[in-house]
Amino acid sequence: MVVGEISNLSCSSGGHWYLTLSDGQSSISAAVFKGDAFRNPLLRELKDGDKVICTGSIGVYSKRGTFQLIVKQIQFAGVGDLKVEFEKLKKRLAGEGLFDLDTKKKIPSYPKRVAVITAEGAAALQDFLNIYKRRSIQMDIVLVPAVVQGDAAPASLRNALMAAIKTSMDAPEDQKYDVIVLTRGGGSLEDLWAFNDEALAWEIYNCPIPVISAVGHQVDYSISDFVADLRCETPSAAAETLTDSQTRILQKLNHCKKSLVGTMELELGRKKEVLEASNPHTLVDLVWSLFNEIQKSLSELDIRGRLGELTGFHEALMSLDELSGRMKYAIETKLRSTSTKLDSLGQVMTALGPQNVLDRGYTYIQDGKGKLIGNKKQYEKLKSGESVAVTFADGKANALVSKE
């Protein structure tokens, strides 16, 4: 049976659980394999910092050659001591005003010189420098080495912070630190415990230089995160924050550069066209081209040697005149023939017209509506006294119908 505080709790894709058990003095890796995990549903409720009692056997992880606890049963043993201590310290320091927002100093937008307190050769330092090299225009980074884990770490961190402050105060104006970054990579609660040191918290609070705390990963919080003027989730995030304004300037400069190059290339192209158009050789070529065009036009207008072409033109005109005369004669002949036929038809129509009949003494009767009365039957239909019109050769007269 092992009693300890959980850290680094994780579940693999295969359903196995892995964790670290520690008591503040030592730690041991532990594993809960899939079959045992089903029999311990409590696993899904656990989180880093919980204090548990684990029962199982000791095994060897062959790939690393390390011992690990193979857990068969796990149960709560109360909240972890380190977590309780952390919450108590956090509450007390908050009450003393160390976390107040109105006391925090503003991080400069364009820091020129930055002190980084961390372990020399640590992965956190490399992550920070990688981002810095890629994004920074001009910013000096000075490493202030310190122990970041273990019993000696709190004092080492305080000494490094005080050394950075003293160096900055004694340095010329252009060599002073604009920002101090306190950082290290992720780890268990025990690994990060040095950054929960109360004395270190007061040193950060009283530091005259803005301090950034970038300890652990996103889910990791330490007392230094709350006391510092700015908390960044990771060392890389701290580097991005410090170089953000410089990156925007660099992007703007690159945009201006592209715009300037484009404008210059466009203007150079225009000037080149003007220069080429003003080149004596170009002007001579233009003159010769115009000369050749005019010479060609003049040669086309020259009538010498074109007698046959012109004679053919006159013959076409004569042929056209002849065809015109023939067409005129044909039209006149057609008109005379048509006129004679119209006169003949007119005489026939006149002879057959009603007026000739009337001239011979005939008349015709129309009722009041102008309808022709052409026979006795139609006349019988008229009413006695009804008015009718009688048309003679020399005019019309009205009459009344009488049937007496």
Summarize pLDDT for 235-267 with one digit per residue, the tens.
Answer: 999 999 999 988 888 888 888 999 899 989 898
Q: Which of 116-120, 358-362, 379-383 is the least confident region?
A: 358-362
Summarize pLDDT for 319-343 with one digit per residue, the tens.
Answer: 888 888 889 999 999 999 999 999 8
Q: Report, as an integer, the average pLDDT of 389-403.
A: 83
Look up residue 68 and give its two tokens. 């690990």
Taking the C-alpha atoms of residue 237 and residue 84, their distance in angstroms, rounded to an integer, is 28
Summarize pLDDT for 44-98 with one digit per residue, the tens.
Answer: 888 888 888 899 999 888 777 788 999 999 887 754 567 778 889 999 999 999 9
Q: How confident is the model at residue 191 (pLDDT cuts 50, 70, 90)?
A: confident
CATH superfamily of 86-100+109-248: Response regulator (3.40.50.2300)
Residue 296 half-sphere exposure, CB side, CA atoms within 13 Å?
Answer: 6
pLDDT at 112 over 90: yes
Taking the C-alpha atoms of residue 125 and residue 112, their distance in angstroms, rounded to an integer, is 18
The CATH number for 2-79, chosen from 2.40.10.10, 2.40.50.140, 3.30.540.10, 3.90.1200.10, is 2.40.50.140
- Domain range list for the chain: 2-79, 86-100+109-248, 303-332, 355-400
pLDDT at 348 over 90: no
Taking the C-alpha atoms of residue 10 and residue 7, their distance in angstroms, rounded to an integer, is 9
pLDDT at 108 over 70: yes
**What pLDDT score was predicted for residue 158?**
96
Taking the C-alpha atoms of residue 229 and residue 210, their distance in angstroms, rounded to an integer, is 6
Q: Taking the complete model, does pTM exceed 0.95, yes or no? A: no
Taking the C-alpha atoms of residue 105 and residue 204, their distance in angstroms, rounded to an integer, is 11
Summarize pLDDT for 355-369 with one digit per residue, the tens.
Answer: 777 777 788 888 888
> Residue 293: how many CB atoms within 10 A of its CB?
10
